[in-house]
Amino acid sequence: MKNKKKIAIVTGAASGLGFELALLLAKDNYELFLVDVDATKLEGAKKDIEAQYATSIQLLHKDLSKPNVSEEIFLALEGKDVDVLINNAGFGIFGSFNDTDWLRDISMLNLHVLTTTHLTKLVLKGMVARGSGKILNMSSLAAFQPGPLMSLYYATKAYILSFSEAIANELKGTGVTVTCLCPGQTKTCFQEVVSNGAKASENKIKFNIACPKQVAEYGYDAMKKGKVVAVPGNFNKFLSKLPRFVPRRTATAIIRKIQEKNRDN
């Protein structure tokens, strides 16, 4: 009897880390369900993957910041078992919380918190029932401290980290693992959707910017090993631990200076 092909879902798969993670899954012969809000880039990603690997790819053009989109994705699977879920989609908003657009704020909260949580819940029941499955949630180095001028982004990434660690503990002994990837600055199109949806200038601080391919490989390997928290890069590991030794007020002030410097014209 022919072995059944494993199935993976990747959100935010049209570019950046999502695309690189999809490539790694294709290399390992997963059947892919790729989700993104950008239909054109999603089609391009499919062609690029198919040019390298012979695998089945289904495209789901979805706005993950909308209510009930998780159910739409789950229904599109038509009852198929999900072996890997990668909650990668996300964006940032720069500016004082008092000044940012509330509708844009809601979109990010829905995407980072509600969609990530709901999609995880929907696939998790089947994984636990089968006794196998892997979930990779995309957080950030931002999860380890407050972030003035990107307050909701930092807060939602902290939520993803806390949520992932908690359910990883709950799932011990089930055969299902949850990994939270927390990269630092990575060279992706993230900057294009910062600052209330308008294209922002590139970060002025160029130090410690990682290659998306290397970050994806690090996160993918951590997911396969069932590691709970994965912080790529020794300097980032150091930064993630710094808030334990520096007063939170000081850490918060430092982050504000960095944000101001990055967007200084």
Report CA 231 to chain centroid distance, whole Å: 13
* Secondary structure E strands in 107-203: 133-138, 176-181
Q: What DSSP designation does 180 have?
A: E
Look at the domain 7-262 and name its fold: Rossmann fold (3.40.50)
36-69 per-residue burial string, b: 16 or more CB within 10 A, e: under 16:
bbbeebbeebbeebeeebebebbbbebebbeeeb
pLDDT at 3: 58
pLDDT digits (tens, 9 = 90+) for 178-226: 999 999 886 655 444 554 444 444 544 444 567 999 999 999 999 999 9
Domain boundaries, the chain: 7-262
139-144 long-range CB contacts below 8 Å, 24 or more apart?
A: 139/164, 139/180, 139/181, 139/182, 140/182, 140/183, 140/184, 141/182, 141/183, 141/184, 141/231, 141/236, 141/239, 141/240, 143/180, 143/182, 144/182, 144/239, 144/240, 144/242, 144/243
pLDDT at 248: 80
pLDDT at 205: 45
Q: What does R_g of the chain's alpha carbons equal in angstroms?
A: 18
**Average per-residue pLDDT for the chain:** 89
Q: Is the pLDDT of residue 64 over 80?
A: yes
94-117 per-residue burial string, b: 16 or more CB within 10 A, e: under 16:
bbeeeebeeebbebbbbbbbbbbb
What band does 264 get if pLDDT is binned at 50, 70 and 90? low
Residues noted as catalytic:
153, 157
The order of strands in the sheet holding 176-181 is 57-61, 31-36, 7-11, 84-87, 133-138, 176-181, 229-230
pLDDT at 247: 82
Q: If you average pLDDT over residues 20-34, what whole number do you get?
A: 98
Residues contacting residue 242 through CB under 8 Å, at least 6 positions apart: 144, 145, 251
pLDDT at 171: 98
